[in-house]
């Protein structure tokens, strides 16, 4: 990356600048509450630029999102390992911002499930598009979305987990044209 010329570097930055807002939102969702989303974006960007330029990627956004998701999963795994093997060293629970309690419910989902729900319900992507973004199969995305929604309903007080093909009364309106292949 350092070998790039000034002009190419500016192009790279402009590309990142265009992606930044969406990447940060994505990172904020998939990361646990004690993790700064910008740290994840930073790590993903550094790891990616260590390998190639952003413009060399077919889909820089998808690549960086996967990197962010992996980094978040790694962080969650390391923390779980520390809790399991070093309970006496773990100390008090990490202090997090005071968010509404129902927001912390989302934190109980796996980062990948969070990412699926976020991309589907907030970003409005269809299952096929999510699958391409996260490197999963469409079926896996569908299954993860269904299970994650069911769990959220249970955690938030709902009793009947809705099936994936039922009307999503609590979800954002979908762009049917993009989900038609589901």
Instruction: Give least dist CB 92 to other proteins, A.
Output: 22
Judged by beta carbon, residue 88 or residue 131, the one nearer other proteins is 131
Long-range contacts at 140-145 (CB < 8 A, ≥ 24 apart): 141/116, 142/182, 144/112, 144/113, 144/116, 145/113, 145/116, 145/117, 145/120
Instruction: Give least dist CB 21 to other proteins, A.
Output: 8
Judged by beta carbon, residue 91 or residue 134, the one nearer other proteins is 134
Judged by beta carbon, residue 117 or residue 125, the one nearer other proteins is 117
For tokens 């269904």, the residue is 146
- Give yes or no for a contact between 90 and 81, defined as CB atoms under 8 angstroms apart: no
**Interface contacts to other proteins, rule CB under 8 A:** 1-2, 13, 16-17, 20-21, 24-26, 28-29, 33, 36-38, 41-52, 56-59, 62-63, 66-71, 74, 97, 99-100, 102-103, 105-106, 117-118, 121-122, 135, 170-172
| C-alpha to C-alpha distance for 33 and 109, rounded to whole angstroms | 12
Judged by beta carbon, residue 63 or residue 130, the one nearer other proteins is 63
Instruction: Give least dist CB 91 to other proteins, A.
Output: 23
| C-alpha to C-alpha distance for 86 and 119, rounded to whole angstroms | 35
Instruction: Give least dist CB 144 to other proteins, A.
Output: 15
Instruction: Give least dist CB 6 to other proteins, A.
Output: 12
CB neighbour list of residue 23: distance below 8 Å, 6 or more residues apart: 41, 44, 61, 64, 65, 68
Judged by beta carbon, residue 31 or residue 182, the one nearer other proteins is 31
**Quick one: tokens of 107?**
């934190």
């Amino acid at each position: 990356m350092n070998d790039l010329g000034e002009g190419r570097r500016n192009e790279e930055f402009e590309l990142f600048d265009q992606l930044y807002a969406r990447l940060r939102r994505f990172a904020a969702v998939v990361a646990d509450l004690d993790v700064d989303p910008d740290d994840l974006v930073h790590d993903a960007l550094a790891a990616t630029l260590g390998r190639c330029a952003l413009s060399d990627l077919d889909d820089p956004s998808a690549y960086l999102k996967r990197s962010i998701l992996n980094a978040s999963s790694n962080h969650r795994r390391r923390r779980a390992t520390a809790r399991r093997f070093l309970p006496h060293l773990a100390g008090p629970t990490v202090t997090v911002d005071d968010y509404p309690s129902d927001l912390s419910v989302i934190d109980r989902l796996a980062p990948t499930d969070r990412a699926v729900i976020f991309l589907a319900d907030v970003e409005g992507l269809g299952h096929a598009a999510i699958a391409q973004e996260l490197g999963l199969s469409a079926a896996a995305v569908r299954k993860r979305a269904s299970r994650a929604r069911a769990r959220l309903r249970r955690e938030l007080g709902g009793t009947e987990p809705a099936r994936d093909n039922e009307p999503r009364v609590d979800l954002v309106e979908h762009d049917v044209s993009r989900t038609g292949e589901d």
